[in-house]
Amino acid sequence: MAQKTIEEIMNSEVVLSIKDLVIKFNLRGQELTAIRGASLDLHKGESLAIVGESGSGKSVLNKSFMGLLDSNGRIESGSIMYNGQDLAKFKTEEDWIKIRGKEIAMVFQDPMTSLNPLKAIGKQVQESIELHQNLKGEEAKKLAVEILNDVGISEPERRYKQYPHEFSGGMRQRVVIATAVACNPNILICDEPTTALDVTIQAQILQLLKNLQDKYNLTIIYITHDLGVVANVADRIAVMYAGDIIEIGSSEEVFFDPKHPYTWALLSSLPQLGVKGEALYSIKGTPPNLFKEIKGDAFAPRNPHALKIDFVERPPYFEVTPTHKARTWLLDPRAPKVEPPPLVKKMQELYIEAGDKVE
């Protein structure tokens, strides 16, 4: 499969553009800032992976594109431009109905519970088609069977009539993906699409999503905390920490030339990089309390390389290459030179070696 080059992606049009988005929640009388001024451009046809630990705001960010925030959450400021409309201004269900499914569809984490247990799976796929593709009855059914076939369900005619409990987890996730694809969306958000599946199935599902991306011309956002998933499928990676995107770049740039200390720490914790006999690396401390206002760089308290300014002023984005930027003062020309941790350097070396061999 031809992976798109990073240049092709950056040159294709921007389908979704998020600017300085702030999302707040009211929780037990307190105000929690879940997204703190995140910005992001999504390009047509790309696969963007959003990675980060639990609570970093990955899911909240994506839910805000579909108006699926919980009722105590709201968009405080910023914009989400899609097709000339600002989704951040959407209030009513009527507004969102035009976006949900039709423009942006979503695949959820747990396929075991994502399907209605009392409806034949074919009907659930057909429901998407009837909602968004102006087909009814037999025609819609024919297309539903076709899509079931596309997501790798054998004997789709027969299985159309079966119920979710007659399917395994991996097969159910295929059905869930089918219901999303059947909406014929522009953007497909996959929220931890493989987390609930066992390892052998994970690869199949990721491969399936790749194939569907080509066939249906989808732009895909993967939300995940599994860097293994990311390495397999993403053209670009956005790293989130405490409600902000702290580094974004092509997969190669983020994996092999990361700039933000948090990205370093995240990569260093990959079990695959561990040395036998040594304890695995883990990031010290806990993520910041989002009920309080965060001053400077949110990662500073856990960052062994933190500078004084990290505690005072929030870093802007520094551009490393036209496709790669990171929010860290370490990239400021006045900053002292800090070497990435050994594990990250090891990855860089491996990468350069591999590159040499290819040439």
Q: How far is the CB of 295 from another protein (least distance, A)?
A: 36
Told to check if 117 binds another protein by CB under 8 A, we report: yes
Cα–chain center distance at 275: 29
Cα(215)–Cα(256) distance, rounded to whole angstroms? Answer: 30
Q: How far is the CB of 118 from another protein (least distance, A)?
A: 5
Determine which residue in the list 127, 150, 297, 310 makes contact with another protein, applying CB under 8 A: 127
Q: How many positions of this chain bind another protein (CB under 8 A)?
A: 29
Phi/psi-derived region of residue 105, left when phi > 0, alpha when psi is between -120 and 50, beta in every other case: beta
Smaller CB distance to another protein: residue 132 or 225? 132
Beta-bridged to residue 239, according to DSSP, are 51, 247
Cα(206)–Cα(155) distance, rounded to whole angstroms? Answer: 22
Reference 267, options 159, 171, 182, 342; nearest CA is 342
Residue 219 · residue 44 · CB < 8 Å: yes
Determine which residue in the list 8, 41, 53, 110 makes contact with another protein, applying CB under 8 A: 110
Find the part of the chain contacting another protein (CB under 8 A) among 98-106, 147-155, 215-223, 252-260.
98-106
Residue 146 · residue 168 · CB < 8 Å: no
Told to check if 168 binds another protein by CB under 8 A, we report: no
Determine which residue in the list 44, 74, 132, 346 makes contact with another protein, applying CB under 8 A: 132
Smaller CB distance to another protein: residue 119 or 142? 119
Told to check if 187 binds another protein by CB under 8 A, we report: no
Determine which residue in the list 72, 116, 168, 289 makes contact with another protein, applying CB under 8 A: 116
Smaller CB distance to another protein: residue 132 or 314? 132
Residue ranges of alpha helices (H) inside the chain are: 6-11, 58-64, 93-97, 121-132, 137-150, 156-159, 169-181, 199-216, 227-233, 251-256, 261-268, 342-358
Told to check if 118 binds another protein by CB under 8 A, we report: yes
Reference 246, options 29, 89, 40; nearest CA is 40
Binding mask 28-67 for another protein (x = CB under 8 A): --------------------------------------x-
Determine which residue in the list 3, 72, 113, 321 makes contact with another protein, applying CB under 8 A: 113
3-state SS, residue 321: strand
Q: 303 is written with which tokens?
A: 């960052």
Find the part of the chain contacting another protein (CB under 8 A) among 75-83, 114-122, 139-147, 320-328.
114-122
Applying CB under 8 A, the residues found at the interface with another protein are 66, 68, 93, 97, 99-102, 105-106, 108, 110, 113-119, 127-128, 131-132, 163, 165, 176, 179-180, 183
